[in-house]
Every structure is written in C-alpha cells, then in structure tokens.
Amino acid sequence: MTTCTSRAAWVHLLRRLHFFIGLFVGPFIFVAALTGTLYVATPQLENRIYSEALHGSVEGGRHTLAEQITVAQKAVAAPLRMSALRPALEPGETTRVMFADPALGESENRAIFIDPVTLVVKGDMTVYGTSGILPLRQWIDYAHRSLLLGDFGRLYSELAASWMWIAALGGIVLWAFTRPKRRIKNRLQNTRRIHVTLGWCLLAGMLLFSATGLTWSQWAGGNVDKLRTAFGWLTPQVNTQLHGGEAIVMDPHAEHHGQHGQMAMSQPTAALDRIDAVLNAAQGAGIDATHLEIRPPRSEDRAWTVTEIDRRWPTQVDAVAVDPQSLAIIDTTQFAHFPLMAKLTRWGVDLHMGVLFGLPNQLLLIAFGLALCVAIVMGYRLWWIKRPSQAQTNPLLTLSQSWLALSLPARWATLTLAVACGLALPVMGGSLALFILFDWLRWRAAVRVPLAESSAK
C-alpha cells in the first residue's frame, strides 16, 4: 500500500468523505434547504390566500364559545369529536374549532372557522400540527419532511440532517489543511473561495438545523428522546389527572408527530357548554396570551387544558389544567420555570420554523436557505473543475485505504467515533457503510481492467 504522512492521510480521508457527502447527500440537503426556505417564506402568502377563513367581523358583540362550537358541529355534518379550539380573542379574527377526523392523516385535523360575531362559517379545511398551518404550507412541509412519500420519504430528511453537520465541520477542517499560502486568482480558487466563505458564514446555522432536524427524524429522533429523558431535558406539561397521578411531558416537535391524537371518548354537549367558564378560569390564573388552544379532556377523570401557543419573542407557552366542574386550577406550567434545556429546545424548534422572532427570523432563514443552495452548487462546480481527465486507481483515493493510512491511534479513534455516530444516527451509519462499499467496489473495478490488459500481453 502507498504510504503517506499523517497529515496527508487525514487530508485524503477528509477529502474523500467530503466528496461522498457532497455527491450523494448534497442533493438531499439542497432539497431540504429549498423546501425549508419555501416554508418560512410563505406564511404571509398563506394568510392572504385563506384570508376569508382567517378574518371575521371587527365590530359587534361576540357569541359564546359554546354557541360557536354548536355551529361548527352542524357544519361538519358528522359525529366527529372536537380535538381542540382556538378562540378568537382579538377583533377581526375567527375562532378555529378543530375536529379529529379519522379520514385525515397523523397530526391533521379538520378545522371549521367561525365568525364569533355573526356565527357565519368562514372556512372548512385541514390544518396540521401545533402550528396549525393551512393546506399550502402543509404541502410544503410534507415536501420538506418526506418528499411527499410518507414515512419512507422521511429517510431523505434524516439523511440530510445526519450528514450536514459533518459536511460543515469536515469542510472547515479540510480548508484549514489545504488552503493556499498565497491568494491565487483563477477559476478553481475563485469557486473554492466562494464555497469556503459560504461554509464559514453558514456553519452555525448548519449545526443548529442538523441538531433540530434530527430531533424530528424517524430513527435518530428516538435516540434523541432517550437522551433528553435520561438527562431530564423533557418539556414539562400540566398534569390533567383530576384525582392525582403523574404528569406527562410535552413534545416541542408536535408539528411533525401525532400530538393531535384521536380521543377515545364521546363529548356530551353539556361538557362543551363549560368551555367558556374554563377559559375564564384559565385567564384568571394568568393565561394572558392572545393565541390560545383549549383542549377537552380525554376521559371523565381528566381536566381541560388551556395552553398559550404564541411562540414568538417573548415566548408564551404557559398552560393550566382546569377542573370543568369546580373550575379549580389542577396544575400549571410556566415557561419561565422550564429547565434551561427545555427552553433551548423550544427556542431552537421555533427558530428552525421561522416563528421565534417573526419577520426577522423569516428573512434570516430565507437568506440562509438560499445561501446554502448556492454553497452546494459551488461545491459541485468545484468538483467538476477538479475532476480527473481519466479514472484514477490510487488506493489512497478510497475511504477504506485512506483510513488504513492513518496512525493506529487515529484509526481506533475514528472507528470508535464512526460506530458511536452510527448507533446514535442509524441512517448515517447505514449510508457510511454504503459509501465505503461503493468506493471499494469502484476501485476494484478500476484496477481490474489494467490487470486484465497486462495479463493478456
């Protein structure tokens, strides 16, 4: 085997790994960045498209929530159970009454939009997740998360999130090892300079979006949840048990999971008639945000929950559990008292979705997404410029042989790291094994032709 210095071995390994990430994972990162940019860029467009459903009468006396629910129940023309209600607390808004429809997908609800002043049904459409996005952004979100291919398609986004942080950090280290000592102006170096500059500018964002994206993922997400449970980083939620019991925890990624699950209970009209009193009790207990979600109990021994859902800055996600009979506050959670990691998780998720700081957050993420797309295109252009005129058969150009060229301690360290990452991030581990296998088979095929020609002479 060809020998090389330790520095050269590291350069060979990093360059080959960076090449494979760019070649095979780069397109998925590009799609994730593009669809994510569309997602954060379209809330105003969505509000305009569905303005008829979202806006009601500005002036006039409001009907009770119970009356609005009754109108919504008649509009669905089916015995659906109400899963949640988002009352119109500001003039000009409509109340959103959401029903658990078995014909819809996970995390989807059928929403009836009611004008609280006139009781006119303003809209009837599917909404998705805790964020309550409407059909336009729901389609974009599905494309971003799974390429519209369901659970199988979620492998794409997990693949992108698993490798993006490696691509970012590995690219920076590779630049540190191979940057020219003097500034050279040619097509290759100019392209490389743009690629590296964007990599530095986007480094923090790529690390953040990899981390938050992995918490939503299908396989790695489960391991992240176990880690958060082990260290007590889970987000607290109110205990709804009327006669004691253990509190449950809230998933800050409810937008991408089935947190709007179907309730296995009927809802007598008498129970829903208490909703106005429940809201008043919650507001008296300090729930003062203008965006709220009220959820009926899952069973008779459970309390109603009233939760703030305003996740802009400052974040308002306090919640209370209310006994529908006595209107006593059973339990309460306040964001100010959340553990630090729970707060960071909440902020990270909201930043990822472009809602934490409103319009500035949107503009920042749009710039990030477009710049990341440009960086990927520049990476492909760099590879095209540097591509060899004919296939090279140097074994050091393969991942496995580059790894074998490392010192023994370095080999053990990288092997341990690879195994640990593979166990924690299964999609990364599986794709890395495919990278190595493909690289080795390609090299064997390349050297087999010269050997065959030599033996024929």
pLDDT score for 269: 54
pLDDT digits (tens, 9 = 90+) for 310-347: 999 999 999 999 999 899 999 999 999 999 999 999 99
pLDDT digits (tens, 9 = 90+) for 56-91: 999 999 999 999 999 999 999 888 999 999 999 999
pLDDT score for 395: 53
DSSP conformation class of 52: H
Residue with tokens 């790894």: 403
pLDDT score for 9: 87
pLDDT score for 258: 43
CA 23 from chain center: how many Å? 23
263: left (phi over 0), alpha (psi -120 to 50) or beta: beta
Contacts of residue 6, defined as CB under 8 A and 6 or more positions apart, other chains included, come to 406, 407, 410
pLDDT score for 250: 52
pLDDT digits (tens, 9 = 90+) for 213-248: 999 898 999 999 898 888 888 888 899 998 755 444
Q: CA 170 → CA 47, 355, 415, distances in Å?
A: 41, 30, 16
Contacts of residue 236, defined as CB under 8 A and 6 or more positions apart, other chains included, come to 247, 249, 250, 333, 338, 339, 342
pLDDT score for 264: 39
pLDDT score for 457: 52
pLDDT score for 299: 84
Q: Which residue has the higher pLDDT, 116 or 453?
A: 116
pLDDT score for 330: 95
What tokens were used for 94?
């409509």
What tokens were used for 375?
């960086």
Provide the pLDDT confidence category of residue 259 given band limits of 50, 70 and 90: very low
- What strands, in cross-sheet order, belong to the sheet with 292-295? 121-128, 108-114, 95-100, 81-86, 292-295, 304-308, 319-322, 329-333
Name the residue among 383, 372, 378 with its Cα closest to residue 164. Answer: 372
pLDDT score for 447: 64
Mind giving me the DSSP string for 170-203? HHHHHHHHH--SS---SHHHHHHHHHHHHHHHHH
pLDDT score for 261: 40
Q: Does residue 450 carry a pLDDT above 60?
A: no
Name the residue among 374, 453, 422, 362 with its Cα closest to residue 196. Answer: 374
DSSP conformation class of 262: P
pLDDT score for 451: 44
Start-to-end CA distance of the chain, whole Å, equals 25
CA 260 from chain center: how many Å? 17
pLDDT digits (tens, 9 = 90+) for 151-179: 999 999 999 999 999 999 999 999 999 88
Q: Residue 136: is it exposed, middle or buried by C-beta count within 10 angstroms (0-12/13-18/19+)?
A: middle
